[in-house]
Chain A
Amino acid sequence: MAWVIAKWLGAAALLTGAAGIGFEFARKYRKRPLDLRELMAALRMLRNDISYGRLPLPDSLAEIAAHFPQHSGTRHVFAMTAHRLNAAGTEAGEAFVDALRQNSECWSLHEEDLNALRQFSHTMGATSAELQAAAITALLGELSDREREAVAERDRFEKVYRTAGVLIGMLLVVMLW
């Protein structure tokens, strides 16, 4: 009798585990376009602050960060960069890259997405407003391509991973029964 109960419990655990892993993969695909969109919205605000307001980066970044929800990766990266910049002698690019590294867990961006941001960081605060705005526009162009690609990937893989998780779980259960 105990053997049967253990068998059922094991099967249930295996199934939920496999399904969970599948759901986690699916979640990453679902979240990347959202993260990219949020990031792009923030960058547009930054571009406005620079072009029209000539607002210094620490002020602008802190203000923009406050627009985004608590769990947002954009919020964490922007807020941390702003915070670092309030210390004497910190350069914007350096602080931004550092914030990206420390907050990589907060969002589902791919390494290439982060590379585009790192590339952009070299111009941060180091050029005229005109060039700065142009750099942001270029970055936005690149990110919007990535966002399109992320949406396509989500449509293709989100369901696949979700069902695959459940199916593999069931398969394992059947094989081990």
Chain B
Amino acid sequence: MQTTSLFPATILHLLPEDVGKSVLSQSGVMLDGVSEIRLRIGRRVQLVGPDVFLPVVVEQGHLRHVLATLTRSSLYAVEAELRHGFITLPGGHRVGIAGKVVLGSEGGVQTVRDISSVNIRIAKGYHGCAKELAAALCKSRSTIRSALLFGPPSSGKTTLLRDLARMLGSGEAPFARPHRVTLVDERSEIAGSMGGAPQFDVGLATDVLDACPKSIGMTMALRSLSPEVVIVDELGGTEDALAVADLARAGVALVGTAHAGSVQELFARFEIMALARHEAIERFVEVSPTPRPGTVKQIYDRQRGEVKLWRG
């Protein structure tokens, strides 16, 4: 069936029979655009992307089926993942979970029980989507400029970052050779690691620090992995900024992302300002979700206290 190729087997395997049938009865063109399948108890199944609600109403049995398949009937085996609220599948797809959150004695999330919603996110790697960006960031054939990708949520920053890691790590043109890349993947989203092994192609010479807090990971990488480039998602707090400044002092390039709607919004943030002032980051890349996620809209640089449009 043509639709099966659009839908990874791991995901079809996860769906209860009637939901699976209902999904596959949709047209191929529409299925191609599906980015999430959402099951919420008592409500109809939603296909995010085309934003269609299927006629199947989700019952407890459906969620139990998904959960049993997902955890291989062993909830304890995915306890750590449940604490973060999602489970990664082979192929980098991930399943987000919502329900009653049980707190542990130390105040952290112990587990999620009475699961009420399941969000199956279909991973789509866009091989080669960072080509243009790589060309812009390439300083000479062997080095890359430190850069910060920014844009609104789901504008494709992580996808770009992943492809950039692959190109750098594998030494794909414009890079002359494989770079030692360390990927600090706090949310296991860039590499989609499962049992430690990256599920996406993140490059030949790329090391992944999976589920590692960003600031700790950046320092760890610097000490033990001797990276040439560190790649990290969603820079935020002051500790992150300090770690980035450390990297810059050590001459390690950094490529990261940050949530921001516009360049003004980005520079309104204190820690980003600090990074720019220390020249730890040379380029600021505005990523736009239109016309399609991962579109590079503008590239800025910041010199002499001014934000300027940069032309390569």
Contact = CB atoms under 8 A, between A and B. Distances in A.
Interface of A: 50, 54-59, 85, 88-92, 95, 124-129, 132
A126 B69 contact: no
A157 B292 CA distance: 80
Contact of A127 (B66, B73, B76): B76
Contact of B76 (A85, A95, A132): A132
A126 B67 CA distance: 10
A111 B255 CA distance: 65
A124 B72 CA distance: 12
A3 B16 CA distance: 72
Contacts of A88: 13-14, 65, 68-69
A50 B111 CA distance: 17
Interface of B: 13-14, 16, 64-66, 68-69, 71-77, 79, 110-111
A42 B72 CA distance: 20
B68 A89 contact: yes
Contacts of A58: 72-74
A56 B75 CA distance: 8
Nearest to A58: B72
A126 B79 CA distance: 11
Contacts of B64: 89, 91
A95 B74 CA distance: 13
Contacts of A57: 72-74, 77
Contact of A56 (B13, B65, B74, B111): B74
A85 B76 CA distance: 15
Among B64, B74, B77, the one with the most A-chain Cβ atoms within 10 Å of its Cβ is: B74
For the complex of A and B, 8 pairs with smallest distance between CB atoms: A89-B65, A129-B76, A56-B72, A92-B73, A56-B74, A125-B73, A57-B74, A56-B77
A90 B74 contact: no
25 contacts: A50-B76, A54-B76, A54-B77, A54-B79, A56-B72, A56-B73, A56-B74, A57-B73, A57-B77, A85-B72, A88-B65, A88-B68, A88-B69, A89-B16, A89-B66, A90-B68, A90-B73, A92-B68, A125-B71, A125-B75, A125-B76, A128-B75, A128-B110, A128-B111, A129-B79
Given A92-B73, A92-B74, A129-B79, 15 more contacts: A54-B79, A57-B74, A58-B72, A85-B72, A88-B65, A88-B69, A89-B65, A90-B73, A91-B73, A95-B73, A124-B73, A125-B76, A126-B75, A128-B75, A128-B110
A125 B74 contact: yes
A56 B65 CA distance: 16
B48 to A, nearest CB: 23
Nearest to B110: A128
A24 B66 CA distance: 47
